[in-house]
């Protein structure tokens, strides 16, 4: 039997009802597909204890925490001190997801920008990567990312990247990473694949954003971490690489960005 190349689902939501109800099976199916690790994302800090518990209970699972931009108006604003304190947990490996969403929640734009800057400060202070959600906010996003970078370097991944080539280039110019979701495997996503193909493969991650955005052949159904393999195979095609080589590259990229995961040692 040929060994399946190992990859990481860099962004999923295991605490969402669609996945939590059968979590052991979800994690088992991921392992069978070669998805040996996953980062589950807490989108509201009041849920952080429950998301942390998932990471503590399952060896392949790490977590990140922040306030999603679409929730900023309805949640208490995260503080720098709060994010730094949460980041002390050994399996808490990223800040966010945070960002800007003007598609659904443009009315809270200023609050979103304020929250984003707090999260960036936390990423800078902790050394953990920032996890960015950006939708219909390219100009403001590029401006804030650049402005904050002049105040001090930080690392970042543009999660589920599906924005303009200009925002992609702005992120790459700052040394950031772009993450490929199931959207990049959709038949009509050639323009998006072209944006990724023009990027350095050393700055590419893969993810599901499950339970959303399932790639073919599961499109329209619930997504789960195992399906990262479908996105990664399409990504290998996009970069003209053998799947095993792309998988190895994406793993190296993930560990270069998520250094806390790379350094994590299972407690004896």
DSSP string, 179-206: EE-GGGGSTT-HHHHHHHHTS-GGGEEE
Q: Per-residue pLDDT averaged across 79-107, rounded?
A: 98
Residue 125 lies in a domain: yes
pLDDT digits (tens, 9 = 90+) for 95-118: 999 999 999 999 999 999 999 999
Distances (CA, A) of 194 to 88, 164, 166, 198: 38, 11, 13, 6
What percent of the chain is modeled with pLDDT above 70? 99
d(CA 128, CA 83): 11
Residue 1 lies in a domain: no
CATH number at residue 165: 3.20.20.140
Residue 187 lies in a domain: yes
Residue 2 lies in a domain: no
pLDDT score at 2: 56
Residue 159 lies in a domain: yes
Residue 243 lies in a domain: yes
For all residues of the chain together, what is the average pLDDT?
A: 97
Q: Per-residue pLDDT averaged across 65-90, rounded?
A: 97
Residue 138 lies in a domain: yes
pLDDT score at 3: 85
pLDDT digits (tens, 9 = 90+) for 237-251: 999 999 999 999 999
d(CA 152, CA 147): 9
pTM above 0.85, yes or no: yes
pLDDT score at 1: 37
pLDDT digits (tens, 9 = 90+) for 129-143: 999 999 999 999 999
Report the Cα–Cα distance between both ends of the chain, in Å, rounded.
Answer: 31
Domain count, the chain: 1
d(CA 165, CA 163): 7
Residue 64 CB partners (closer than 8 Å, separation 6+): 39, 40, 41, 42, 92, 93, 94, 95, 96, 97, 128, 131
What percent of the chain is modeled with pLDDT above 90? 97
Residue 268 lies in a domain: no
Range(s) of the domain holding residue 210: 7-263
């Amino acid at each position: 039997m040929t060994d399946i190349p190992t990859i990481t689902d860099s962004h999923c939501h295991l605490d969402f009802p669609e996945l939590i109800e059968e979590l052991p099976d979800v994690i088992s199916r991921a392992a069978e597909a070669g998805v040996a690790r996953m980062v589950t994302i807490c989108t509201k800090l009041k849920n952080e204890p429950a998301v942390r518990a998932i990471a503590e209970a399952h060896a392949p699972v790490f977590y990140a925490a922040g306030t999603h931009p679409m929730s900023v108006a309805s949640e208490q604003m995260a503080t720098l001190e709060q994010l730094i304190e949460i980041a002390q947990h050994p399996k808490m490996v990223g800040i966010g997801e945070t960002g800007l969403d003007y598609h659904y929640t443009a009315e809270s734009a200023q609050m979103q920008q304020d929250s984003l800057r707090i999260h960036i400060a936390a990423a800078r202070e902790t050394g953990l990567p920032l996890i960015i959600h950006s939708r219909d906010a390219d100009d403001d996003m590029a401006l804030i990312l650049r402005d904050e970078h002049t105040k001090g370097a930080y690392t970042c991944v543009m999660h589920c990247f599906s924005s303009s080539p200009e925002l992609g280039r702005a992120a790459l110019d700052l040394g950031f990473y772009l993450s490929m979701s199931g959207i990049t495997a959709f038949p009509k996503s050639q323009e998006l694949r072209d944006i990724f193909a023009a990027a350095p493969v050393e700055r590419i991650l893969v993810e599901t954003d499950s339970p959303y955005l399932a790639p073919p052949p599961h499109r329209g159904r619930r997504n789960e971490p195992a399906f990262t393999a479908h996105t990664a195979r399409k990504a290998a095609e996009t970069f003209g690489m053998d799947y095993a080589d792309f998988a190895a590259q994406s793993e190296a990229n993930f560990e270069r960005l998520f250094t806390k995961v790379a350094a994590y040692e299972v407690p004896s």
